[in-house]
């Protein structure tokens, strides 16, 4: 073999090593990015649950709205639903309002109970129309239509 062939072979091996190292570093960067992207979301969700618990712990014993708001936070992120239901039950025991009935309907809908969700939304609509003079039930009516389309496709 001549010196030209040895230099070419060495250069070719060097290029192969560089390519392999580049591919490995790109895949490592891809894995790191996917892990990083997954990490904060999970942290944010657990922070939201912790924040909801903190809201409940710091609220007054008769604060039905804070209980409903904490439950709504958990329902929106689809975490801690059992505790959210317990908070909603306590909230409804303290004061049955349009707000906490709507959140309860959202809970039922999230748990694939569309008939219960429909009944709860209708109860909230009736309560709002009978107790609030300038009640705007458009949001609730749209939720009723969504649930109606789930029940009767």
0.75 exceeded by the pTM? Answer: no
Q: Which helix (H) or strand (E) holds 36?
A: helix 3-58
Take residue 131 and report the two structure tokens written for it: 């107790």
Q: Which residue has the higher pLDDT, 125 or 19?
A: 125
- Classified as helix, coil or strand, 137 is coil
Taking only Cα atoms into account, the Rg of the chain, rounded to an integer number of angstroms, comes to 28
- pLDDT surpasses 60 at 52: yes
Residues 6 or more apart whose CB falls under 8 angstroms from that of 81 comprise 74, 75, 107, 110, 111
Q: pLDDT per residue over 85-132, tens digit each? A: 999 999 999 999 999 999 999 999 999 999 999 999 999 999 999 999
């Amino acid at each position: 073999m001549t010196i030209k062939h040895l230099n070419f072979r060495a250069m070719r091996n060097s290029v192969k090593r560089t390519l392999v190292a580049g591919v490995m570093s790109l895949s490592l960067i891809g894995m790191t990015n996917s892990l990083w992207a997954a990490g904060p979301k999970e942290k944010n969700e657990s922070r939201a649950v912790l924040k909801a618990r903190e809201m409940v712990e710091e609220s007054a014993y008769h604060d039905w709205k804070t209980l409903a708001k904490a439950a709504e936070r958990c329902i929106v992120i689809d975490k801690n639903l059992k505790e959210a239901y317990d908070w909603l039950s306590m909230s409804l025991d303290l004061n049955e309002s349009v707000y906490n009935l709507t959140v309860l309907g959202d809970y039922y809908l999230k748990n694939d109970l569309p008939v219960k969700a429909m009944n709860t939304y209708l109860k909230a609509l009736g309560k709002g129309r009978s107790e609030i003079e300038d009640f705007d039930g458009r949001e609730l009516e749209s939720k009723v239509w969504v649930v109606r389309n789930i029940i009767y496709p």
